[in-house]
Structure 1
Amino acid sequence: MSEKMTCMSFGQLMDWVLTEHKEKGTVFGVHRAYQADTAKDMEIFGRNLETPIGPAAGPNTQLAQNIVASYYAGARFFELKTVQKMDGDELAACINRPCILAEDECYNCEWSTELYVPQAMGEYIKAWFILHVMAKEFGLGGTDGFQFNISVGYDLAGIKEEKIDTFINCMKEARDTEVFKECRTWLLDHVDQFEHVTKEDIEAIPSEICNSATISTLHGCPPNEIESIANHLYKEKHLNTFIKCNPTLLGYEFARKTMDEMGYDYMAFGDFHFLDDLQYKDAVPMFKRLQALADQLGLAFGVKITNTFPVDVTRNELPSEEMYMSGKALFPLSISLAAKLSREFDGKLRIAYSGGADFYNIDRIVGCGVWPVTVATTILKTGGYQRFSQMAEKIMADGVKPWDGIDVEALEKLAEDAKKDPRHVKNIKPLPNRKNEEEVPLLNCYFAPCQGGCPIHQDIPEYIGLAGEEKYADALRAILDKNALPFITGTLCAHNCMYKCTRNFYDESVNIRGTKLLAAENGYDEVIGEIRAGESNGKKVAIVGGGPAGIAAAYFLARAGASVTIFEKEAKLGGVIRYVIPGFRIPETTIDKDVSFIEKMGVEIRTNTEITSVADVKAQGYDAVIVATGANKPGTLKLEKGETVNALKFLADFKSNDGKVDLGKNVVVIGGGNTAMDTARAAKRTEGVEHVYLVYRRTKRYMPAAEEELLEVLEESVEFKELLSPVSLENGTLICRKMELGTMDASGRAGVTETDEMVEVPADTVIVAVGEKVPAEFYEANGINVNERGKAKLDQETLETSVKDVYLAGDSARGAATIVEAIRDAQLVAKAILGREVVSDRAVTGTETECYEKKGVLKEEKDAAKESARCLSCSKVCENCVDVCPNRANISVKVPGMEMAQVIHVDYMCNECGNCRTFCPYASAPYKDKFTLFAKPEDMDDSTNDGFAVLNADTKECRVRFLGNVTECKADDPEDKVPGGIRALICAVIDDYSYLLFK
C-alpha cells in the first residue's frame, strides 16, 4: 500500500467532525470531551491558554485530524510538526517504515512533516478553524484558549528558503492565504449547520495563528548556526522563540551512567553525538545573549527540552541504522537537563518540556514551573489521545499559577527521583511477547488478550467483573467452568494472561491471579455445597498420579458423569505442589481446598499406591487410563569434579524436614528458572546457611524465571553471580568460567561466549536446578513408544499414546510445563475420552459505555477487589489500533445486524508508521491486514490490502478486493459473490459513515 497521506478538504473534515459528534457522540474516535474552566486560564506569549499540555511536534501534529482529536481530549498547546526545506516525496522516501516502536520506551526514525510544506500549512490552518468552531459549538472552552507553536529547522539557509519563509509568514498572518479563505467561506456558507456558532463568531476567528516558534536543529549543528536562526526569528520575524535542546548537553558519561544504572545498559550509543552536538559551555552564554535580545525586543525566550536522543539499532527494532529514543527512558535525562539549566539560570529561564512526560509525572513537572508540556510517547500507547483528558484534569484541578520562575530545588528533586522511579526504571527482564499467535480476522476481531493467552481460555473479564461487584460465588463458578484448581492457580499460576493484558500498555497488568484467589477464598463456602458429580455416563477412568494434571482430569471427568479413580504413590494428592514447592509459596490448606472439589464429586482416591504397570490397571475394568506422573526424572549437571544436589530432591527434603537440612554455610544454586528461585529462597531459610549464591551463565535479564520471582529473590538478599558457567567443585569452592554477553538477536536474547578467566565462588553445597525429564523408562516398560528424546509419541489433539485408551497429561505429556497447561491437558484428555466438550465459553458481559469510560485512564491498583475498575473488557471493546493511530486511520464501525463493532483501515490517512502493529493483540498489522477503505480505485492498485473503493455511493457500486481477488459489485446485492459480512460492512460505511468517503 502507499505510505502517502492525502489531506482531506476542509469541507470533509467539518462534515466528519459535526456528523460523528452528532450521531456517535465522539470526534475522530475520542469518546470523552474535556471542557475547560476558562476561569483557570493561564497566559504565555501574551495569549490565553486553558491547559498547559498538548502534543509534541511529531506524528500527533502532522494532520488536521490529529490536532482536532488532541483538542477534544484536553490538549491546548500544539507544537506543530517540524517543517524544513526537504519535504513531500523527497522526505517520505528517506523514512524507513515502520518508523515508530512505542511498546515500552519509544523509538522512532522519522523527524519532520512528510507533507509538502504548503500542505502542512494548510493542515494547520484548517485545524485552527475547526478548533475555534468546536470550542463554541461543543462548549469545550474559550475560542482563545489554545495556541499553535510552529517548529522549524534545520538550518538558517533552509529556513530562509521561499517555501519556509512563506510558511512562517503565513502562520503569523494567514488572512491572504487561499486555505484561510476557503475555511472561512465554507463556515459562512454552512452556518445553518451550527447550533451555537454564529456568523459573527466565524468572522471573528483571528488570522494571526502563531506568534511563537521552536527551533529544531540537526545533531551536529554548530552554536553559531543555532544562534543565527534565533536572531533571524527574533529580528526578522518577531516571534517568541524556544530552542530545542538535546540531552547530549549533559555529556556522554552522565547519560551512559544513568542509562546503565536504570537498566538500559543494552541501549547502544557512542560519544559521537555528545562531542559533535552543542556543548554546555557554549550553550549557556548563547542562551544568555538570546535572553537579553528577547528582553530588548519585548519577546519571550526559552528552551525546549528535549529534542532527540539518538541510539543505535541493534535488535532490528526499526528498519534503520539509527533511531531516536523517547518516553520512559528519556525522562530521567530530559528532566536532569531541565534541572541543570534551571540551576544555571537561577530559575529564570523559561523551559517548555517534552521527554517522557505522562499522567504520573506531569503535575510535578508543571508544579515546578516547567510548562507548556508536550507529549508523544504516552499518546502513542493504548488509550491514545484520550490520555490528555486525565492529564488535563489532574493539572487543572487547582489551576496553574502564573509563571514567575522555576522552583529549582523541586525540579532537582524530581530529576533525582526519576532515576529510581519504577515507572522509568527498566524492567529486570525483557518484555514478554504481548501478541497472540493468530492473525487478525477481517471481521469480528475483538477478543480479550488475557483470555487468548491463557492455555485454558478462562473467561477472565467475566470473573474479574463479578469479583468487582463482590459476587464472589458467581466469580468462582465462572472460574470453575474451565479451571479445576482455582486455589492453586490463584497462588502459583505462571499467569501468561497477565503478560498479555492490554493494561500493561497503560500502567501494569490487571491482577488476574490475585482476583482469582480472592474469588476462590470468598466464594468457596457457598460454592462447595453445590459441587457434585454429573449424571453417570457409564465411563470408568483410572488416573495414575495425583498432581495438578491428575486432579484436574478427575474433576472434568467426574463433573461430566464418569467414574474416576486416582492412584497416587504419596500419602496425599498434590504432587510437586504439595511435596516440593516450599510452604512459604503455598500452604497445604490451599491445596486441600482444590482437592475437596473432586472429593465432593465422589472421585475414588487411592493414596500410598504406586503403579508400575498401566496394563494391570486397565485390566481392572477401566475404559481409559490417564498417566499424570509428571516429569519426575531428575535433571543433572555434571561437573569436572565434585557432586551436586538435585533441586527437587533438596526442596522435598527442605519441606519434609521443616528446613532442617545440612547444607553448610555457603550454598550455590545453579540455574535461572522459577525452580532455581524457589531453591535459592528455601536455601536462604535453611538452618546454618549464611550465604546463597545464584550462578547463571547470562545476566538476570535473560533468566527464564518470572520477573516477580526474581524480585522476591533479590529482596531476600540472595547474591547473584552472573555470567558464570560452573566447571568444578573443589575444597569448598565452585570454580566457574567467566562468560561474556554477545550481541542480542531479534528476540532480545543475548548470545554468550566463554572467556579464559576463572572465578571462584564459596560453596559447601551446590544445588542444580536445570529442569526435570519425563520418565522414558516407565513409558517403554509399558509399551508406550517414545521419540529420540525419551518423550512419548502422542496424538497432539487427544494426547493418546501409542497404546490404545492410554493417555498422558501434564508434565508427563510434554515435559516440565505450567500448572495451567496441565489443566489444559486434562481438558483435552477428558474430551477425548468422553467424545464431547467438557467446558464452555461464557457470553461477554458489560457495556460499551463502561469500556469507553476506562479508555485512556491510567490507574494503578494493588487491591484485587478493585481490579474490575481497571479491566478494559477487551472482548467487548478492543480498538487498540483505533486508539493508537496518530492519524485516526483505523475506524470502529457499527454494522447493523452485527453484535461486535468492526474495524476498517482508511488508506488515504495512513503513512505506515506501524504503531497499530505494535499494539494489536494479534500477530498482525491492522494497517496491512484489516479491510481497507481506499479513496479511489487507483489507490487499490498501489496496495495488496483486501478492501474497497466506492465508485458510486448512491448505487453502492464498489470495487472490492477480497482474498486477493478484485471484483466490481453492488454492495447491497445479496446475489453477489462477495461475502455477506463484507458487503454489510461496506453498506454501513456508505450509509452511516459517509464522511469517510474521500471528497
Structure 2
Amino acid sequence: MSELMTPIPFWELMTWITTEYQRDGSVFGVRPYRAGEKKLPIFGETIETPFGPAAGPNTQLAQNIIAGYFAGARFFELKTVQKMDGAELAACIARPCILAEDECYNCEWSTELTVQQAFEEYVKAWCACKMLSRVYGLGDPDGFVFNMSVGYDLEGIQGKKIDTFLNEMANASATPVFQECLRTLRAFFPGEAAYIDAISPRISGSVTLSTLHGCPPDEIERIASYLLEVKHLHTFVKCNPTLLGYDTARSILDGMGYDYIAFDDHHFKEDLQYADAVPMFHRLRHLADQEGLEFGLKLSNTFPVDVKAGELPSEEMYMAGKSLFPLTTAMAARIAREFGGKLRLSYAGGADAFNVGKLFEIGIWPITMATTVLKPGGYQRFTQIGRKLDALNFNPFTGVDIAGIEALSLAARSDKYHRKSMKPLPRRKLREQVPLLDCFIAPCQDGCPIHQNIPEYMELCRKGEYVSALALITAKNPLPFITGTLCAHNCMNKCTRNYYDQPVNIRATKLVAAEKGYEELMACLKPPAPAASRARAAVIGGGPTGISAAYFLGRAGIPVTLFEKSSQLGGVVRRVIPAWRISDDAIDKDAALMKAMGVEVRLNTPAPTVAELKAQGYTHIFFAVGAWRAGKLDISGNIMPVIGWLQDLKAGKSVSLGHVAVVGGGNTAMDAARAALRAGAKSSTLVYRRTRKYMPADVEELELALADGVAFLELAAPVEQRDGILACEKMKLGEPDERGRRKPVPTGERLEIPCDTVISAIGEQVESELFTANGIEVDAIGLPAFQTNLEGVYAGGDARRGPATVVEGIADAQAFADAVIGAVHPYSIPVGARASREEALAKKGVLCESARCEGDRCLSCQVVCQICADVCPNRANVVVELPDGRHQILHVDRMCNECGNCAVFCPYDSAPYRDKWTLFLTRAGFEESPCNQGFLPLGENRVLIRLDGRVFEADLDGSNGLPAEIEVFLWTVLNKYRYLLG
C-alpha cells in the first residue's frame, strides 16, 4: 500500500461519473439529492443548502467534493493549504490517522497533495459540480460556494506558493486545468457548449483562516487583515476551543463522561486568549465593513488532546465530533453574547442530522461537518440533513439568537447523543477476518451466540407477518418470551445502527413477534414423529438451558425426559428474577413450546445418578443445572446471599431490609438493589470496588437502577457491617488486569454508610459436588467441560460456564442436541424475509431513533453492507456488481491514503484497505504492497496477480488457474468498470 494519493485526470473523472450515473443512477456510490427553490445569500453568492463538508478528509480530492455535492452539500470548506505540502507533509502524518468510532480523533490536518495539485482538484470539482447540477437536474448551477482554507502563518500565505493559489482560485480562467476541464466538458456534453463557455472561473472569493495552536494574536490579526485588505476575500477566522479556558473545557468534558480524555493547560496558555480575541474581532469586523466584505468566526477548530491508550500512532491527536459539540456551542454562546448576536458565526464541531436544524434556526450558518460523514452511511448522510433544512424557513443572516444558542449549549451537556456512555464501548467487531469476496454480513446475527436470523425476523415483523417471524425465531430459540425480555442482546452491541444513533431494539422486536404470533403458532404445533435414532436423552435441570435442550431434542423426535427438582420449570428466571422483570405467564408460554414437542417433564424429581440413568436406558445425559451457590463475601455482619434473598422476596417471605447495601456490579446486583427499594427499604446502595464503568452489568441495567433511585458507592470495598453501619475501605484504580479492567488498589482510608442489610452479589457458583459425585471431572473452579470425561454425558449453561446468559445456555443446548442427533436441524427462511436491495439502500445514511416499527430502522446488513465504501472519504473502496447480481468490494490503491477509517467500521476484525482485493495503478504500487492480494492490469485481459502468497501473470481469455469467482470478478472490473483502471 502507498499512502500517497494519485489525483484522477478530469477526463477519467467524468468518464467514471457519467458511466456510473447512466448505469446505477449514482455517482461515487452516492444517490442524488435535488435541491428545491430556496436559496441563501453569502459572500455575494448563493447556496441552496447552508451546510457541507468541513476542511478535512472530505474536501481533499475532486471526487470527495463531487460526492458531497451529489448528496446535498452546497457549502464546501476546502481542505487547508499551507506552504508545507505534498510528500513533505504526508511524511509527518502517522498512519492510520482517523479514529471516528465514537467521538472522532485525527492526526492529519492540511492537504497531503501539493498546493498546485490541491488547486487542480478544486477546479475539477468546481467544473464538475457546475455541469452535473445542470445535466442531472440537481439544482441551480450557481447554488453552491467553495470556501478556501489557508494556514498557518503570514509569511507562508504571502509566499509565492500560497499567493498563486489564492490568485488562481479567485480567477482560474488562464490556468491550464480550467481550460482542460472546459474542453473535457464540451466533449462529454456537446449540446451544452454555450453553458460550458459561461462557467465562472471565480472558484472562490472567500477564505477561512486556520491558525496553528500558539499563533500570537497579532499574527492572526495581520493575516486576517491581509486577506481582507490585500486579497479582498470574505474572511472567517477559525477559533480553537482553547478560547474557552482550561477549567471550563475540563469541567464540561468531565461532567459529560469524557474524564478519560487527557490534556493539560499548555495549549490554553499558548493559544489566543479571550481578552485579546474580542477587541481584535471587533477591529477585523470594522475593517471588513470598510472593505465591503463579510467577516465572521469559524467555530471551531478541532481540540488537541494527548494519546494515552494507543488510539492513534502519534503523541497528540485532534478531537472532534460529539464531544466537541458542547465545547463549540459554549464558545458560540459566549461570543454571541459578547457581540450582541451581530457577529456572523460559521459552525463546525459535532454537527449532524439531530442538531443541524437547531443551529440553523438560531442563526448559526453555514454549518460544516466531518465526523458524521466519516461514519457508516458516509456522504449519503448529507441527503437527510439537506431535507431537514429544506423544511425550515430560509432567511438572510440578521444575527444569532443569543438565548437560543445559550439554551442549546446547556442542553448539549445532557443530550444522550453528546454524553459519553457510562461504560466503555463494547467490542463492535466480529472475530473473523474479512473474506476476499462475499463479505456482506449482518453483525447482529454473527454476534449472537445462536446465530439467530435477526434481519429476517425483523423484516417479517416490519411486514406484520408475526407467525412467520416467530416460527423463524423458534427454529433456533425456543425461549422467545424469556429472551425477548431478559436476553443480554450481544446482537444489539454489534448492530451497525450504533454508529448512527442507537441500536435497533432487536430484543423488544422478538417479544413483539412472540406476543403477536404465539397463539397461532401453538395451534400449528404437534409432537413430531419418533426419530429412527436409538438415542434417548435425560436433561437435568428445568431452567432455560434445560428447557431448550429438551425442546431441540423433542422436535427431532428423540425421546427426552427433563428432571427438575422443584415444582416449576424456569430455574433462576422463575424463582429469582423479580416478577416486575418477567411474568410467570411469559415463562409458562416458553415451557409450553417445549411441552408441545412431546417432552416428558418430571417435576419435584431430583435427578438420578449418571449410573442410574444409563441403567434406565438413557444414552445421552445433559447437566443444565443453575448457579445457585452464593459467592462468599468474607466480612462480618448481617450478610444475605443475593440468590436466597431474591428467592425469598419473590416467594413472598419476609426479608431483611432497612438501609440496604448490595455488594457487586452485575445484573443480579442491579435487580437486588432495585428490588430492595420496591420492597420498602429505607435506602439501597450499590457498593463496588471499581467505578461504574467497570461494572459487568449492562448499561441499561445501570440506567434503570439509577432511575429507580439506587445510590452508587464506587471505589469502596466492604470491611464490616455492624450497628446499622457498613464500613468500607476507599480504593483507587491501579493497572489494568488481564481483562482490561483497572485493578482496585486499597488506600487505607475508611468511609461509612448507613446499612442494616448487606446483600452479597459477587458471583454465584455451581455446586460442583453434583458432578464429582457422578465421577465427572471438573476444572480448578469446579466446572466440567461441555463434553465431559464420561461417554454421552454433557454439561451446558451455568453448569459449564458458571453464571451464564440465557442465550449462551441455548447455544449449549443446541450443541448438545446436535451431538445427540448427529446433524444440525434444518430450517428455511420464509419468502419475504429479506428486504430488497433498494429498500436497504434507502435506509443507509439516515439517522432515525424511532419509527413505526424497529424493522424500519434495521439496515438489512445481510442484503447491503458496503460500510467500507460508505466511510471512505476518497471513494477508494468501490462496489462492483457481478453478472449474477452479487456485489463485491474492490479497493482502488491509487485513491487511498491509508487513513484507516474503513478499518474502524468494517464489521470484521480486518482493514479493507489491506485485506480486500486491490486494484493497482502501477507496478511500483503493486510491489510496495506485498500484503495486499490484488492485481495490476497489463493490457487487454491480462493481469499481474498476487493471490495466496503467489505472484503470477494471468490471461483471462485463456487458461489461467484462477478460481472461477476471482476470474469473473477480474473480468467484470476490466470490462464493465474500465474507468477504475487509470
TM-score by length of 1: 0.96
Match of 1:833 in 2: 820
Matched residue of 1:40: which SS?
coil
Which amino acid letter does the alignment assign opposite residue 991 of structure 1?
N
Residue deviations 1:41-94, cap 9 Å, x none?
111000011110000000000100000000000000000000111111111111
Q: Residues of 2 paired with 1:532 and 1:556: CA distance?
A: 14
Q: Residues of 2 paired with 1:683 and 1:505: CA distance?
A: 36
| Partner residue of 1:440 out of 434, 443, 449 | 434
**1:817 deviation in Å?**
1.1
Cα root mean square deviation, aligned = 1.4
Match of 2:980 in 1: 996
Residue 676 (1) aligns with residue 674 (2): no
Match of 2:60 in 1: 62
**1:733 deviation in Å?**
2.0
Match of 1:135 in 2: 133
Residue deviations 1:781-831, cap 9 Å, x none?
101112222221x3xxxx321111111121112221110011111110000
Residue deviations 1:234-267, cap 9 Å, x none?
1110000000011111111111111111111111
Match of 2:311 in 1: 317
Quickly say closer, same or farther: Cα 1:761–1:531, change in 2 above 3 A.
Answer: same
**1:728 deviation in Å?**
2.3
Q: Residues of 2 paired with 1:743 and 1:57: CA distance?
A: 39
Which amino acid letter does the alignment assign opposite residue 759 of structure 2?
I
Query: Does the CA-based 8 Å contact 1:667-1:767 persist in structure 2?
Result: yes
Residue deviations 1:931-970, cap 9 Å, x none?
111112221111124343443442x100010112111101
Residue 986 (1) aligns with residue 970 (2): yes
**1:746 deviation in Å?**
11
Residue 345 (1) aligns with residue 339 (2): yes
Q: Which piece of structure 1 moves more, 145-154 or 269-278?
A: 269-278
Q: Residues of 2 paired with 1:832 and 1:811: CA distance?
A: 19
Q: Residues of 1 paired with 2:633 and 2:360: CA distance?
A: 57
Q: Residues of 2 paired with 1:680 and 1:789: CA distance?
A: 27
Match of 2:652 in 1: 657
Match of 2:407 in 1: 413
Match of 2:903 in 1: 917
Query: Does the CA-based 8 Å contact 1:930-1:945 persist in structure 2?
Result: no
Match of 2:210 in 1: 216
**1:612 deviation in Å?**
5.1
Match of 1:754 in 2: 746
Query: Does the CA-based 8 Å contact 1:953-1:990 persist in structure 2?
Result: no
Alignment of 1:32-181 (within 5 A): 33-37=32-36, 39-181=37-179
Q: Residues of 2 paired with 1:749 and 1:771: CA distance?
A: 17
Query: Does the CA-based 8 Å contact 2:937-2:981 persist in structure 1?
Result: no
Query: Does the CA-based 8 Å contact 1:671-1:695 persist in structure 2?
Result: yes
Q: Residues of 2 paired with 1:170 and 1:206: CA distance?
A: 12
Q: Residues of 1 paired with 2:495 and 2:709: CA distance?
A: 31
Residue 302 (1) aligns with residue 288 (2): no
Residue 967 (1) aligns with residue 952 (2): yes
Which amino acid letter does the alignment assign opposite residue 568 of structure 2?
K
Q: Residues of 1 paired with 2:744 and 2:155: CA distance?
A: 50
Query: Does the CA-based 8 Å contact 1:972-1:987 persist in structure 2?
Result: no
Match of 1:882 in 2: 869
**1:761 deviation in Å?**
2.0
Alignment of 1:412-561 (within 5 A): 412-537=406-531, 538-561=534-557
Query: Does the CA-based 8 Å contact 2:302-2:324 persist in structure 1?
Result: no
Residue deviations 1:874-905, cap 9 Å, x none?
011101111100000111111123x5311111
Q: Residues of 2 paired with 1:952 and 1:347: CA distance?
A: 62
**1:751 deviation in Å?**
4.1
Query: Does the CA-based 8 Å contact 1:876-1:900 persist in structure 2?
Result: no
Which amino acid letter does the alignment assign opposite residue 689 of structure 2?
R
Residue 646 (1) aligns with residue 645 (2): no
Q: Residues of 2 paired with 1:631 and 1:77: CA distance?
A: 60
Query: Does the CA-based 8 Å contact 1:35-1:74 persist in structure 2?
Result: yes
Q: Residues of 1 paired with 2:63 and 2:351: CA distance?
A: 23
Q: Percent identity?
A: 54
**1:986 deviation in Å?**
0.8
Match of 2:780 in 1: 788
Which amino acid letter does the alignment assign opposite residue 979 of structure 2?
Y
Matched residue of 2:13: which SS?
helix
**1:742 deviation in Å?**
4.0
Which amino acid letter does the alignment assign opposite residue 670 of structure 1?
V
Residue deviations 1:649-704, cap 9 Å, x none?
1111111116x3123x11111111111101111111224x2011111111111111
Alignment of 1:572-583 (within 5 A): 572-583=568-579
Residue 930 (1) aligns with residue 916 (2): yes
Matched residue of 2:853: which SS?
helix
Match of 1:693 in 2: 685
**1:840 deviation in Å?**
3.9
Quickly say closer, same or farther: Cα 1:841–1:171, change in 2 above 3 A.
Answer: farther
Match of 2:8 in 1: 8
**1:157 deviation in Å?**
0.9
**1:763 deviation in Å?**
1.7
Matched residue of 1:417: which SS?
helix
Matched residue of 1:597: which SS?
helix
Matched residue of 2:524: which SS?
coil
Query: Does the CA-based 8 Å contact 1:83-1:152 persist in structure 2?
Result: yes
Query: Does the CA-based 8 Å contact 2:926-2:936 persist in structure 1?
Result: no
**1:609 deviation in Å?**
0.6
Residue 363 (1) aligns with residue 357 (2): yes
Query: Does the CA-based 8 Å contact 1:827-1:838 persist in structure 2?
Result: no
Match of 2:792 in 1: 805
Alignment of 1:198-347 (within 5 A): 198-347=192-341
Q: Residues of 2 paired with 1:747 and 1:297: CA distance?
A: 62
**1:628 deviation in Å?**
0.7
| Partner residue of 1:715 out of 698, 703, 707 | 707
Residue 737 (1) aligns with residue 729 (2): yes
**1:731 deviation in Å?**
2.8
Alignment of 1:622-641 (within 5 A): 622-639=618-635, 641=636
Q: Residues of 2 paired with 1:949 and 1:753: CA distance?
A: 55
Q: Residues of 2 paired with 1:424 and 1:510: CA distance?
A: 19
Match of 2:879 in 1: 892
Residue deviations 1:971-994, cap 9 Å, x none?
343x32221111111111111111
Which amino acid letter does the alignment assign opposite residue 118 of structure 1?
Q
Q: Residues of 2 paired with 1:883 and 1:745: CA distance?
A: 37
Quickly say closer, same or farther: Cα 1:972–1:791, change in 2 above 3 A.
Answer: farther
Matched residue of 2:248: which SS?
helix
Q: Residues of 2 paired with 1:887 and 1:946: CA distance?
A: 19
Which amino acid letter does the alignment assign opposite residue 847 of structure 2?
L
Q: Residues of 2 paired with 1:471 and 1:71: CA distance?
A: 40
Query: Does the CA-based 8 Å contact 1:907-1:935 persist in structure 2?
Result: yes
Matched residue of 1:893: which SS?
strand
Query: Does the CA-based 8 Å contact 1:83-1:151 persist in structure 2?
Result: yes
Quickly say closer, same or farther: Cα 1:325–1:750, change in 2 above 3 A.
Answer: farther
Q: Residues of 2 paired with 1:750 and 1:359: CA distance?
A: 36
Quickly say closer, same or farther: Cα 1:64–1:742, change in 2 above 3 A.
Answer: farther
Q: Residues of 2 paired with 1:957 and 1:599: CA distance?
A: 63
**1:747 deviation in Å?**
8.0
Q: Residues of 1 paired with 2:258 and 2:863: CA distance?
A: 36
Q: Residues of 2 paired with 1:494 and 1:326: CA distance?
A: 32
Quickly say closer, same or farther: Cα 1:771–1:744, change in 2 above 3 A.
Answer: closer
Query: Does the CA-based 8 Å contact 1:946-1:960 persist in structure 2?
Result: no
Quickly say closer, same or farther: Cα 1:478–1:211, change in 2 above 3 A.
Answer: same
Query: Does the CA-based 8 Å contact 1:482-1:839 persist in structure 2?
Result: no
Matched residue of 2:952: which SS?
strand
Q: Residues of 1 paired with 2:939 and 2:523: CA distance?
A: 62
The runs of 5 or more residues in structure 1 that have no matched partner are none
